[in-house]
Amino acid sequence: MPHVPGLRSVYAKVGRLIYFGRMLDKLRLHATGKLPADYVANLGDSQFYVLDGRCCRFLGVPYADIRERALTTGESDEQILAWVHTRGTPRTDEECHMWNRFILKLGWRDERSAVLPERIRNSGLEGKPIETIIDHIEYDEGRDPVIDRAWENI
């Protein structure tokens, strides 16, 4: 997958959370017809293993509600996240830290380990130091999380 203009890295934080901003980018890009088709199947919270679903379940707010808020209010990402925190499941700093670390390690010795080698092959990224689903996303979109040491800024 090439770089998608307007789609930030998984590592980019909004408030205390990684991935949330990327989810907002994806839903906004989709609403304007700018999200590549390969990304559309992973939108929303209807599938258990996709990152949008995991994020929505962690926050305790349905994807449809977040989507509606993001597309209609003109609020910043931080304002949307603040709204989500008041509406959903309250999360401590420790829980947010654990969320961040959990997401970064998906595909490393867990239920997603079986799909990672296939993803690497299908995207032609054999030989890259990909250990997790997030590593794969980053490399697939043209970023190098190892050189950038992206995990150090979380």
- Domain boundaries, given as residue ranges, for the chain: 1-91, 105-144
Nearest to 142 by CA among 122, 121, 128: 128
Strands, DSSP E only, in 1-154?
Answer: 13-14, 17-18
What are 42-97's pLDDT values in tens digits? Answer: 999 998 889 999 999 999 999 999 999 999 999 999 999 999 999 999 999 999 99
Cα dihedral 140, 130, 77, 72 sign:
positive
Greater confidence, 107 or 21? 21
Greater confidence, 3 or 6? 6
Q: In the Cβ-directed half-sphere of 77, how many Cα atoms lie within 13 Å?
A: 18
Question: What one-character DSSP code corresponds to residue 14?
Answer: E
Could you tell me the pTM of the whole model? 0.93
Question: Residue 124, class by beta-carbon neighbours within 10 Å (0-12 exposed, 13-18 middle, 19+ buried)?
Answer: exposed
pLDDT for residue 150 is more than 90: no
